Structure 1
Amino acid sequence: MFRLFIDESYQHDHYYVAGVLLDEEQSEALESRLDELGENLRIRNGWETSPEFHGHALMNGLDDWKDLHGKFGASISIYQKVMHAVRNSGARVYLEGVDVARLNARYKYPDSPHEVALRHTLERVNEYCVLQGEKCKVIADMVPQQEDFNEAIQGFTRVATPGFLGQKLHAIDGDIEFVDSRHSRGVQSADMCVYILRRHREETGASASAQKAARRLVKSLGDAVVHQRKWLP
C-alpha cells in the first residue's frame, strides 16, 4: 500500500496542497534520512530536541529554527538536504493549487479552497494508484475541519468527485489519518515541498536572492515532482 503525506501552503489569493507519495520501503527510507539529518542538527547546535522540518519556520528563523534567524545560507543548505532526501527516496510529489479570488467569484457557495486543492490532489494520486493496482493511505497534518474533509472524501469513494472530469476515489483507503506534524517526517516533507513550490510559483515580488533560492530548491526536487497545477476557475 502507498502512503500519501499531504500538507498545505497559502496566501490570501491562492491555496496549494502537496502530496508526497511513497511505498512502504520509500517511506521508511525518507523517515530515516530526515531523522538522521534532524539528529545531526540537534547535536551540532546543542538543541534539546530534534527540529521539526517546517518550510516557513526554517526560512524565517522561527520556532525550532530561531537560532538560524538571519542565517539565510544555513537555512537554504538545510532545506536543500531535505529536498534531496525526498528526491532520493523515490517519492512522487504532486502539487495542486487554486486561485481563491476566481473560485469565490465563480461560485455562489464555493467549497473551501483547502478542500478543492485537496480533492484535486487526491484525484491525481488516485489515477496513478489505480494504474498500479494499489491502495493509498492518506496522512495529513491536523486541521480544524478534518471531520468535514473525511466525510467529503468518503463520499467520493462512493460517487464521483465534482466536475466534468470527476472520478470515484477507489484507491483512497479509509479515512484520512490526521496527525501532529511534529511526529511525522512524512508530513514534514510535504510541508517543505508545498511551501517552496508555492513560493517558486507565486512570489514574483520577492527579492532576487529569494527567487534564486526558490529556483535552487525546486531544482533539488527534480523529477520527483510529477504533477503541478494551479486551477483557475
Structure 2
Amino acid sequence: MLLCFVDESDQGDFHGFAGLMADEHATKAITGTLNRIMRQISVDWGIPATTEFHGHPIFHGKEAWKHVPTRVRVGVFHKVFDTIVAEDVVILLRWVHAARLAERQASNFYPVNFPPEQVCFQHILQRAQQVSVNRDTHALIIADDRHDRDRHRERFATYQTQGTPGVYMQTNLDRLLDTVHFAPSHMSRMLQSADMLAFIYRRMHTVTESDPRAAREMARLWQTLVESGRMHNEGNWP
C-alpha cells in the first residue's frame, strides 16, 4: 500500500498541489533522514529540532529561520529534495490557472463551476489512482489540514460513488482507501516534504527571479526532480 501526502501552494491565478506517494519503507526512510538533518541544523544554528520544513519561511528567512544564513537555507532545500528522490517515491505536481478555468467553464456552459483548488485536488486524486493501478496496489490520501476539509471529503465520497466529473481520466477512485485524512503539517515530515515540493513548483511558475544566483538554484532544484524520474504526469489545466 502507498501513502499519498498532499499539500498546496497558491498565488494569484496559480492554484497548485504536490503529492508525494511512498510506501512504508520510503516513508520511514525520508522521515528519519529529515529528522537527522533538522537535528544537525538545530545544533549548528540554535533552532528547535522540531522545527518544520516549511518552504516559505525557509526561502525568505522568516520565523525560526530568520537568523539562518541564506546559503544554509538554500542547502536545506537541496537536502530535502535529495532525500525525497533517493527513495522509491512518486511525485505528483499539478496546477490550475484560475482565470483560464473560469473562461473555459463559461464558454462551455459547464453545469457546475468548481473552484480551481477543487479541480486541482481532483487531478491529484486521479493521478494517485493511476499510480496505484500501475503498481497494483492501493493508496491512502493524507493532506495538510485546511478549513475546507469537509468539502474535500464530500467531493471524494461523490467521486467514489458517482465517478470524477468529465470524461478525461474518469474514475471512481477504487484504488484509494477510506476518505481523505487531514493532519497538521508540523507533525509530519512527509507533509512538510510535500509543502517544499509545492512551494518550489509554484515559485517556478509564478516568479521570475531577479537574482541570477536564485534563478540558478531554482533551476538546480527543478533539475533534481526532473532527472530523478520520480515525477508522474506533471502539468497544468486548462
Whether TM-score is above 0.5 comes out as yes
Structure 1 residue aligned with 2:186, among 172, 182, 188?
Answer: 182
Root-mean-square deviation over aligned CA pairs:
1.5
Where 1:149 maps in the other structure, the secondary structure is helix
The more displaced of 9-18 and 109-118 is: 109-118
Deviation at residue 48 of structure 1 after TM alignment: 3.4
Deviation at residue 20 of structure 1 after TM alignment: 0.3
Is it true that 1:146 corresponds to 2:152 in the alignment? no
Q: Aligned partners of 1:117, 1:155: CA distance in 2, in Å?
A: 16
Aligned residue in 2 for 1:92: 90
Alignment deviations for residues 152-199 of structure 1 (CA, whole Å, 9 cap, x no partner): 011111221112222111111111111110000110000001111222
Aligned residue in 1 for 2:126: 123
Q: Which amino acid aligns with 2:154?
A: E
Q: Aligned partners of 2:48, 2:38: CA distance in 1, in Å?
A: 11
Aligned-residue sequence identity (percent) comes to 27
Alignment deviations for residues 99-135 of structure 1 (CA, whole Å, 9 cap, x no partner): 1111122335521211111100110110120232211
Q: TM-score normalised to the size of structure 2?
A: 0.91
Q: Aligned partners of 1:74, 1:91: CA distance in 2, in Å?
A: 26
Is it true that 1:191 corresponds to 2:199 in the alignment? no
Where 1:107 maps in the other structure, the secondary structure is helix
Aligned residue in 1 for 2:109: none
- Name stretches of at least 5 consecutive residues in structure 1 with no aligned partner: none
Q: Which amino acid aligns with 1:76?
A: V
Q: Aligned partners of 1:101, 1:92: CA distance in 2, in Å?
A: 29
Structure 2 residue aligned with 1:219, among 200, 220, 223?
Answer: 223
Deviation at residue 227 of structure 1 after TM alignment: 2.5
Deviation at residue 141 of structure 1 after TM alignment: 0.7
CA contact under 8 A between 1:130 and 1:170: conserved in structure 2? no
Structure 2 residue aligned with 1:172, among 172, 176, 180?
Answer: 176
Aligned residue in 2 for 1:31: 31
Is it true that 1:163 corresponds to 2:166 in the alignment? yes
- Name stretches of at least 5 consecutive residues in structure 2 with no aligned partner: 107-111
The more displaced of 196-205 and 53-62 is: 196-205
Q: Aligned partners of 2:167, 2:48: CA distance in 1, in Å?
A: 52
Where 2:134 maps in the other structure, the secondary structure is helix
**Distance change (3 Å), C-alpha of 1:227 and 1:44:** same
The more displaced of 114-123 and 41-50 is: 41-50
Q: Aligned partners of 1:149, 1:86: CA distance in 2, in Å?
A: 27
